[in-house]
Structure 1
Amino acid sequence: MNVGALLSFLLFTILVAVISWYKTRKENLQTAAGLFFANRNLGFLVVGGALFFTNISAVQFIGENELVYTNNMSVMAWGISSVLAMLIVSELIMPVYLRSGISTTPDFLEERYDIGTKRFVSVIFLISYIVNMLPSVLYSGAIAFNGLFGLSNALHISYWATIWILVWLIGLIGCLYTVLGGLKAVAISDTVLGVGMFAGGILLPYVALKYLGHGSVNTGLDLLLAARRDHFNAIGSAKDAVPFPTIFTGMFLVNLYYWGTEQYIVQQALASRSLAESQKGIAVACVGKIISPLLLNIPGLIAVMLYPHLDNTAEVFPRIVSDVCSPVLTGFIAAITFGAALTTFNAGLNSTSTLFVLNLYKPFKEWRQEAVSERQVVRVSKRFELLVCLLAMFIAPFIVFAQQGLYTYIQKVSGLFSVPIFTILVVGLLHKRMPAIAAKIGLTFFIITYSVSQLLVDTGLHFLHVLAILFVATVLLMLLIGTLYPRKEPFVQQWNNIVDLRPWKRRHVYTVLLLLAMVALFVVFSPLGLAE
């Protein structure tokens, strides 16, 4: 174990924690608004940093670089194509949420359909976080940390035992962080780490190319461009992990769901002080997505040249960092990776308690005509966070047995929960007389048929295409039900806004610039560019 790297890691990690503590020391965390929504007072830079780094976790560092190494740059599509989805959410969905004054996305589904739909979706969210999202974040963080510091060799214990230890270490620290700091601490940490990631995104490819070129960055770049040009291609074929046509089918739907419905993401934007600040924050997060391939994909590309044969491809990212970086830079990138795991885990924990307490526990108490104080809400939420944390830590190590790589596993499982919820949201927005029973049948139909297609029947189709087909089928089923049993009165949204709803005046200019940058990246990493 490199002592210098470890000291550097501790220094940067403690610095982030101190900044977060200083910025949140006067926050009132004894109310639901303070604990869950930072008192709805976040500016656009904090919103943008929180959105971006809550999305970026060790899953991306590990999973995307692994897929670049084993396939090509086609995995870049997940992050880059999400820019379009984020801008659509900024323009069309976020104004609806802020106008309603909701606390969770199921709140809007209650307003649109009924309380049964809200409970159904809240339970789906909770299951998704407990069995997929939170364990995946812990597992990928453990892989990264072990690879960067070589803990299993240093401690002379098995890889399996090391993963268990690191999963529990990250989980317990993350739980403590969330319980003590609330959403504001998570958002501040995300912003600081986002700045660090941009710095790391420039430094890591630079030193990796210098290492490849035996001291010369230009030589390293020439060597990289002269060999394995197929790895530069982001236009994936049917045999690649991300076939290019999936960008326009299931991937587009997943990205719209993620940025427009996923509770732990939307909650960051709902905490903004105005619609304009929320839209500016989403634009800042889009800039982050445009730059992110520097750290999430390019190292995997360089690793193809450095390590022609790796037994454990999940260790591509930590291996290249530990080999090419100085101890200080290794510790810095380790702090970013560790922080990415922590902040995403923290945001997920905060959202699970938000969903449970506000959508299930509090309504149940009110149904029993029992008074629920703010202090009781906060106390129950912290206890629930601890329970969820323990469950996630028990599940996480077993992801080692997942097939097709970590990133593909996560996306495939999340599809079971994500697109069904987005489907009923879209239909509810566009069809004002769609009844609640249609939403419940649509959710059930989608979840069952997708499960069958992935576990019991080999369709021969990429899972993203399956999601798109089921989206269309579910919409048609809901339209049929809506025609036979329409609502008596059309849905009319109630205005209950608690922030300024004036939109950002210059958003359209920045939308065009961001979309041009998105298209330009695909052109650069295509047969028209570097992959010729």
Structure 2
Amino acid sequence: MTHALFTATFVDYLIIAIYFIFVIGIGFLLKNQANTGEDFFLSGRSIPAWITGLAFLSANLGALEVLGMAASGAEYGMLTGHFYWLGAIPAMLFLGIYMMPFYYVSKVRSVPEYLKVRYNEATRAVNAISFAFMTVLMSGISLYSMGLIFQVLMGWSLTTSVIISAAVVLLYVGMGGLTSSIYNEVIQFFLIWTGLLLVPILGLKELGGWQGMMNRLPQSFGHLWANLGSASHNSMGIEWVGIILGLGFVLSFGYWTTDFLVVQRTLAARNLRAAQNTPIYAAYFKMFVPLLVIVPGLIAAAIYPAIGKTGGPSYNLALPLLIERYYPPGLMGLGLTAMLASFMSGMAGNVTAFTTVWTYDIYQAYINKNATDKHYVAMGRWSVVVGVLISIATAYMAADFPSVMDYMQTLFSFFNAPLFATFLLGMFWKKATPWGGFWGLITGIVGAFLLYALIPASYYASPQAGNFWRAWWAWVITVIVTIGVSLFTKPKKLEELAGVVYGLTKRPNYASMSWYKRPGYLAFVAAVILIAINAWLW
């Protein structure tokens, strides 16, 4: 047993218990609707756009956003907002407008399967294995975060907390598959907002509003762009070039357009237009999430000056400390349940993505190619168990990082940055060859690991600066090698690239529809709002 930060009452425990029973119940009710592979892994491609849009956002609204972004806000200030207004929205709009037609029309069941169609089996294998590895590592982040909450709430050991949290996710994902995960994610989205919105409201009230909070913080904490002229002028230790290239381009597009965790939600949509609108709808909600997660980090930094310093509380405790400060018994249970909901949605998203890639892109592709559909569903359920068990082990790796945000972005720089280069060239350059894609992806991943191993962390002003530059150079290595190898190897025939390469794929035409139903118009309005936010917080 460890010392509990909170003094929770019976009502708090009851709220958390009711939530756990509810999410497990959804999995049980949907169990009989997940009997085929299409149902279990892709929800039968039948979900409306507004539901897949909320699930798309909620699957990402996990440990990274709630615990990690609050920690990053306390560490770096409003510069963390770049992870949204530069590092998410543009890529989400790009996914909806340009990339979903490739994914959806080709009827691929996963991102690695797209790489098989565009390049070859070897490229698929590299991505499937690396994605499966990365996904369980990321799942460990959510599991560690859930364990941390139980630890500070009840005083349990981290091990006990992790095992109980893992068991709940195992039950509802194992029974209901992706459909259970999606509907739970929609419920969790509303629960997260309901449970956490009071934190920034009460915090700003205590500090005397936005300006009162800024008076207690470093000057750079209140701006997005004004202090990026020099790395020495901001807490993140990076200049605007690194932010744009590393985060705004490579890490952002690498995650939002190629990571199967989020792409899987779009593939569950009922038709192509719904699939395109899924990330665009999510972008509108995404713009306002910083109010829920980054602002509390700034409030924590203003109220607890020792946070993140030697002898002080960890940055990861920024949001839990504020919940303890502002929420009375009962309301505290709601706030903590909202945090647990976010972590469970993040972990469940990773687990469902892992099971699909493992079953279709590794097990079916290389171990058992001719089994029945029923067998693959059973394998998917068993892989949920395996994924959760591996996540338990990787949860302790996340504990070694001062911020879960730093850990997450480190993983993205290893795997997503090279993958984005492979996708970009594959979708928009007809002459990218199968072996060009394979060797480019391999060298990009290896190059990222070498950069991490050979360049000491002290070389960069902050962990995030290192992640941004490592991602950029891994992308550059992948592009150079892919182009170089493609110039000396045989490309695929044009008829083989129909439906998977820009210029050889029929674009959807929505001219007969009202403007508010057309992905292009919706994306344009979102872009205008995005520019206004950046100008306001310059």
Q: TM-score, normalised on structure 2?
A: 0.87
Contact 2:192 2:342 in 1 (8 A): no
Please give the alpha-carbon distance, in whole angstroms, between the structure 1 residues aligned to 2:495 and 2:246. 28
Indicate yes or no: 2:337 matched with 1:338: no
Contact 2:33 2:176 in 1 (8 A): no
The Cα shift of 1:274 comes to 0.9
Indicate yes or no: 2:213 matched with 1:224: yes
User: Hey, what does 1:519 align to over in structure 2?
Assistant: 531
> What is the letter of the counterpart of residue 246 of structure 1?
G
> What is the letter of the counterpart of residue 301 of structure 2?
V
> 1:319 aligns to what SS in structure 2?
helix
Deviates more, 1:200-209 or 1:94-103: 200-209
The Cα shift of 1:272 comes to 0.2
> What is the letter of the counterpart of residue 87 of structure 1?
L
User: Hey, what does 2:296 align to over in structure 1?
Assistant: 299
Please give the alpha-carbon distance, in whole angstroms, between the structure 1 residues aligned to 2:407 and 2:303. 26
> What is the letter of the counterpart of residue 135 of structure 1?
G
- Which among 147, 166, 174 is matched to residue 171 of structure 1? 166
> What is the letter of the counterpart of residue 394 of structure 2?
I
Please give the alpha-carbon distance, in whole angstroms, between the structure 1 residues aligned to 2:492 and 2:102. 23
The Cα shift of 1:384 comes to 1.8
- Which among 394, 403, 407 is matched to residue 405 of structure 2? 407
> What is the letter of the counterpart of residue 530 of structure 2?
M
Please give the alpha-carbon distance, in whole angstroms, between the structure 2 residues aligned to 1:142 and 1:230. 33
Please give the alpha-carbon distance, in whole angstroms, between the structure 1 residues aligned to 2:484 and 2:365. 32
Indicate yes or no: 2:388 matched with 1:389: yes
Superposed, which structure 2 residues align to 1:139-154 within 5 Å? 139-147=144-152, 149=153, 151-152=154-155
Please give the alpha-carbon distance, in whole angstroms, between the structure 2 residues aligned to 1:502 and 1:273. 17
> What is the letter of the counterpart of residue 12 of structure 2?
A
The Cα shift of 1:247 comes to 3.5
The Cα shift of 1:97 comes to 0.7
Q: TM-score, normalised on structure 1?
A: 0.88
Contact 2:102 2:499 in 1 (8 A): no
> What is the letter of the counterpart of residue 174 of structure 1?
V
Please give the alpha-carbon distance, in whole angstroms, between the structure 2 residues aligned to 1:20 and 1:519. 40
- Which among 255, 258, 264 is matched to residue 267 of structure 1? 264
User: Hey, what does 1:61 align to over in structure 2?
Assistant: 66
- Which among 324, 327, 348 is matched to residue 325 of structure 1? 327
Indicate yes or no: 2:252 matched with 1:247: no
> 1:462 aligns to what SS in structure 2?
helix
Indicate yes or no: 2:28 matched with 1:28: no
Contact 2:192 2:341 in 1 (8 A): no
Indicate yes or no: 2:464 matched with 1:467: no
After superposition, the C-alpha distances for 1:116-151 in whole angstroms (9 at most, x for unaligned) are: 211121111111112x2111111122223434x2x2
Indicate yes or no: 2:167 matched with 1:198: no
- Which among 181, 186, 208 is matched to residue 181 of structure 2? 186
> What is the letter of the counterpart of residue 227 of structure 1?
R
Taking a change above 3 Å as real, the CA distance of residues 335 and 514 of structure 1, as seen in their structure-2 partners, is same
The Cα shift of 1:52 comes to 0.4
After superposition, the C-alpha distances for 1:462-512 in whole angstroms (9 at most, x for unaligned) are: 33123223322321222122122232633643459xxx9665753233222
CA RMSD of aligned residues (A): 2.4
> What is the letter of the counterpart of residue 316 of structure 1?
A
The Cα shift of 1:12 comes to 4.4
> What is the letter of the counterpart of residue 63 of structure 2?
A
After superposition, the C-alpha distances for 1:424-470 in whole angstroms (9 at most, x for unaligned) are: 11111222232211112112211122111111234657331232233
> 1:327 aligns to what SS in structure 2?
coil
Q: Give aligned pairs, total.
A: 500
Please give the alpha-carbon distance, in whole angstroms, between the structure 1 residues aligned to 2:336 and 2:343. 11
The Cα shift of 1:94 comes to 0.5
Contact 1:69 1:316 in 2 (8 A): yes
Please give the alpha-carbon distance, in whole angstroms, between the structure 2 residues aligned to 1:245 and 1:29. 47
> What is the letter of the counterpart of residue 144 of structure 1?
I
User: Hey, what does 1:122 align to over in structure 2?
Assistant: 128
After superposition, the C-alpha distances for 1:139-197 in whole angstroms (9 at most, x for unaligned) are: 122223434x2x22xx5xxxxxx222111111121111110111111111111121223
User: Hey, what does 1:7 align to over in structure 2?
Assistant: 14
- Which among 47, 56, 63 is matched to residue 52 of structure 2? 47
> 1:86 aligns to what SS in structure 2?
helix
Contact 2:66 2:342 in 1 (8 A): no
Taking a change above 3 Å as real, the CA distance of residues 173 and 416 of structure 1, as seen in their structure-2 partners, is same
- Which among 83, 92, 101 is matched to residue 98 of structure 2? 92
Contact 1:145 1:334 in 2 (8 A): no
Please give the alpha-carbon distance, in whole angstroms, between the structure 2 residues aligned to 1:202 and 1:490. 52
- Which among 432, 441, 450 is matched to residue 430 of structure 2? 432
Deviates more, 1:391-400 or 1:504-513: 504-513
Deviates more, 1:55-64 or 1:483-492: 483-492
After superposition, the C-alpha distances for 1:86-111 in whole angstroms (9 at most, x for unaligned) are: 00010110011111011011111111
Deviates more, 1:382-391 or 1:30-39: 382-391
Taking a change above 3 Å as real, the CA distance of residues 491 and 483 of structure 1, as seen in their structure-2 partners, is farther
> 2:139 aligns to what SS in structure 1?
helix
User: Hey, what does 1:158 align to over in structure 2?
Assistant: none
Indicate yes or no: 2:32 matched with 1:37: no
> 2:220 aligns to what SS in structure 1?
helix
Taking a change above 3 Å as real, the CA distance of residues 472 and 394 of structure 1, as seen in their structure-2 partners, is closer
User: Hey, what does 2:3 align to over in structure 1?
Assistant: none
The Cα shift of 1:268 comes to 0.6
User: Hey, what does 2:504 align to over in structure 1?
Assistant: none
Contact 1:204 1:321 in 2 (8 A): yes
The Cα shift of 1:275 comes to 1.5
After superposition, the C-alpha distances for 1:248-297 in whole angstroms (9 at most, x for unaligned) are: 21212222121211112111100000121122222221122111011111
User: Hey, what does 1:233 align to over in structure 2?
Assistant: 223
> What is the letter of the counterpart of residue 475 of structure 1?
V
After superposition, the C-alpha distances for 1:318-352 in whole angstroms (9 at most, x for unaligned) are: 01011112323322222221111112211211111
Contact 1:45 1:284 in 2 (8 A): yes
Taking a change above 3 Å as real, the CA distance of residues 16 and 376 of structure 1, as seen in their structure-2 partners, is closer
Contact 1:59 1:141 in 2 (8 A): no
Please give the alpha-carbon distance, in whole angstroms, between the structure 2 residues aligned to 1:513 and 1:346. 31
The Cα shift of 1:201 comes to 4.9
> 1:331 aligns to what SS in structure 2?
helix
The Cα shift of 1:57 comes to 0.5
User: Hey, what does 2:503 align to over in structure 1?
Assistant: none
